[in-house]
């Protein structure tokens, strides 16, 4: 809890409330320093497992022989069941929190061929449920939420100061719990940027939906990779920027009855 001043018009009050937390987390793999992530100090094991999978350092949870995380020291030690050559060409992403990726080449990702179809109302309902489940957002704002879902319910919810970290946590928890991510829906409270789109494609997710907008590069990648991208999801509508997974109630250009 922090004490701060709240100014409304001519009134100034001293209030106590939650302020979103972040910390550096240095990740070591087989004794070698890999990178330092800026993240929210929660669900750190899920974050590390998901990030290592996203960057193709591991292909399955079983490849991790030992994982020790110290939130106090800001250090994570990962021992794999095999030697690994860590990627070194770091790309600073547009994600908040200074995200880093090593494998951003979309040619490394196969095009998705999914039969998943979803109605706008289902996307709006799941987005509403994400905001209801995002307890840290409700307490302090200034934090992003992500969710893995099917058309009827949320399966996993994660929060972090970095929207990319929240998606990594989703994949990490999915690996730890044995929940498939293929043919699911991915929701985010933040902007859909290129690295967010690539994370979804790597997870086999054919539909990505956001409360806000995608970037032009994310839309172009979605078209290449067979991912449907929806933005500005609201109870009364949404924007479809790429893909054909959204079931429309009227032809394009026609008013619904």
Query: Average pLDDT in the 178-182 region?
Result: 97
Q: Give kind and range of the element (H or E) at residue 130.
A: helix 120-133
Instruction: Please pick, among 47, 57, 96, 186, the residue that the annotation labels catalytic.
Output: 96
Ranges assigned E (strand) in the chain = 2-8, 11-17, 23-29, 32-39, 64-70, 75-80, 91-92, 100-101, 144-149, 154-160, 185-188, 207-210, 228-234, 237-242
Q: Distance between CA atoms of 252 and 257, rounded to whole angstroms? A: 13
Rounded Cα distance between 163 and 158, Å, is 10
Question: CATH 3.10.20.10 spans which residues of the chain?
Answer: 23-104
Q: What is the gyration radius of the CA atoms in the chain, in angstroms?
A: 19
Residue recorded with tokens 């770091």: 90
Indicate the average pLDDT of the chain: 89
Task: Determine the longest span between alpha carbons in the chain, in angstroms.
Answer: 63
Please give the pLDDT value at position 110.
83
d(CA 75, CA 28): 8
Architecture of the 120-242 domain: 3-Layer(aba) Sandwich (3.40)
Kindly report which listed range (76-90, 168-182, 199-213) carries the lowest average pLDDT score.
Answer: 76-90
Catalytic site includes residue 96:
yes
| pTM exceeding the 0.75 threshold for the entire prediction | yes
Sign of CA dihedral 117, 170, 38, 104: negative
Lowest mean pLDDT: which of 36-40, 125-129, 212-216? 36-40
Which residues are CB-neighbours of 123 under 8 A, at least 6 positions away? 185, 187, 207, 209, 230, 233, 238, 246
Q: Check whether 21 has a pLDDT greater than 70.
A: yes
Q: Which residue, 194, 186, 203, is CA-closest to 222?
A: 194
Beta bridge partners of 210: 188
- Which CATH architecture group holds 23-104? Roll (3.10)
Question: 111 to each of 77, 186, 221, 222, how far by Cα in Å?
Answer: 34, 17, 10, 9
From first CA to last CA, the distance across the chain in angstroms is 51
For tokens 């106090």, name the residue: 72
Q: What span, in angstroms and rounded, lies between the C-alpha atoms of 80 and 57? A: 10
- The pLDDT of residue 149 is 98
Separation between Cα atoms, residue 25 and residue 89, nearest integer Å? 19
Q: How far is CA 119 from CA 53, 57, 129, 189, 225, in A?
A: 31, 36, 16, 19, 21
Residues of the chain with CATH 3.40.140.10: 120-242
pLDDT digits (tens, 9 = 90+) for 88-102: 755 444 444 445 555
The secondary structure of residue 111, as a DSSP letter, is P
């Amino acid at each position: 809890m922090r004490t701060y001043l709240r100014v409304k018009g001519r009134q100034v009050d001293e209030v106590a409330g939650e302020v979103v937390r972040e910390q550096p987390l240095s990740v070591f793999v087989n004794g070698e320093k890999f990178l330092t992530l800026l993240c929210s100090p929660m669900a750190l094991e899920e974050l590390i497992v998901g990030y290592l999978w996203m960057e193709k350092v591991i292909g399955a949870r079983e490849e991790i022989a030992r994982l020790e995380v110290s939130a106090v020291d800001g250090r994570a030690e990962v021992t794999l069941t095999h030697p690994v050559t860590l990627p070194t060409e770091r790309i600073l992403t547009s994600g908040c929190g200074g995200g880093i990726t090593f494998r951003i080449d979309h040619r490394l990702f196969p095009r998705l061929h999914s039969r998943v179809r979803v109605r706008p109302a289902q996307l709006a309902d799941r987005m509403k449920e994400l905001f209801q489940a995002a307890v840290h957002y409700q307490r302090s704002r200034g934090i992003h939420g992500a969710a893995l879902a099917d058309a009827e319910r949320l399966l996993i919810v994660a929060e972090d100061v970095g929207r990319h970290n929240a998606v990594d946590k989703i994949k990490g928890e999915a690996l730890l719990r044995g929940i498939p991510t293929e043919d699911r829906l991915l929701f985010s409270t933040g902007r859909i940027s290129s690295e967010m789109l690539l994370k979804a494609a790597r997870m086999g997710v054919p539909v990505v939906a956001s409360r806000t907008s995608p970037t032009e590069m994310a839309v172009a990648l979605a078209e290449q990779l067979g991912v449907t991208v929806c933005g500005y999801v609201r109870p009364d509508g949404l924007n479809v920027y790429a893909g054909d997974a959204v079931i429309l109630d009227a032809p394009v250009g026609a008013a619904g009855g």
